[in-house]
Amino acid sequence: MPLPLSRPYVARDGAPVIDRVDADVFTHRYFGACLACGFCGDACCDYGVDADAAVVTRIMAQADAIEARVGVARDGWFTGSLAPDADLPGGAGTRTQVADGGCVFRSRTSRGCLLHAYAMETGQDYHLLKPMVSTLFPLTFTEGLLCLSGELEDGSLICGGTGPSAYEAVRPELEYYFGTDLVVELDALAVELSKGGGW
């Protein structure tokens, strides 16, 4: 059920803008300690991810160093040119390519995202190189609505069902992208929902 927020919240790169939240983000649970999981095999990375124009630009600016880690030439990283998308930072996006059964940026030798690992190893904020859609998973956004990703909503996410709520697990990332005011408002909604409050 979509719940209206007190005002629109604009992400730090200008998009997306969130003005509603689906109540399911407070009740659906998953194994939020991603890299501590021993059973998923990074299944959430099987299909690639939407990559916004802002992060694509930053990735390509460091393509020489990233290419050496990925082991795939840079022209094989994305499915196509940037296409307009008002929901994504930079107003456009593409998608990461799938190679050998997973996102081209998924580690083949350990766990997790090579972009995230590369950023951490080089002293950079991983938010600058990792797609926003990936960082917020299993939450997502569409036309102003903060909601569950399809995999958690339909029960197909292998780690779904136990652990913190999707909101609790992703709360720090929401605060990074949208600011403290948004999470304060969402915290209040979560408390009201836990008390059986209706909207």
CB of 157 closer than 8 Å to CB of 34: no
Top pLDDT among 37 and 86 is at 86
Top pLDDT among 152 and 90 is at 90
Domain holding 69, by residue range, is 2-194
Cβ partners under 8 Å of residue 39, min gap 6: 158, 159
> Would you say residue 104 lies in a domain?
yes
Query: Taking the mean position of all CA atoms in its chain, how far away is CA 77?
Result: 18
Q: Which two tokens stand for residue 90?
A: 């930079």
Question: What's the rounded mean pLDDT across residues 45-71?
Answer: 92
Q: Return the H-helix or E-strand segment holding 171.
A: helix 166-178
- Give the span between the Cα atoms of 188 and 174, in whole angstroms: 15
> Would you say residue 199 lies in a domain?
no
**Strand 145-148, strand 17-22: pairing:** parallel
pLDDT of residue 156: 47
pLDDT at 48 over 70: yes
pLDDT of residue 100: 86
> Would you say residue 34 lies in a domain?
yes
> Would you say residue 6 lies in a domain?
yes
Lowest mean pLDDT of 6-10, 89-93, 110-114, 115-119, name the range: 110-114
**SS3 state of residue 94:** strand
Confidence of residue 1 (pLDDT cuts 50, 70, 90): confident
Q: Which two tokens stand for residue 190?
A: 């979560």
How large a percentage of the chain has pLDDT more than 70? 82
Question: What's the rounded mean pLDDT across residues 99-124?
Answer: 89
Average pLDDT taken over every residue of the chain = 87
User: Cis omega (within 30 of 0) on the bond before 172?
Assistant: no
Q: Which two tokens stand for residue 159?
A: 């780690």
Tally of structural domains, the chain: 1
How large a percentage of the chain has pLDDT more than 90? 68
Q: Which two tokens stand for residue 73?
A: 């030439």
Q: For the whole model, what pTM was predicted?
A: 0.88
Bridge partners, 96 (sequence order): 78
pLDDT of residue 152: 54
> Could you read off the pLDDT of 125-181 as tens digits, one per residue?
999 999 999 999 899 999 999 998 866 566 544 444 566 889 999 999 999 999 999
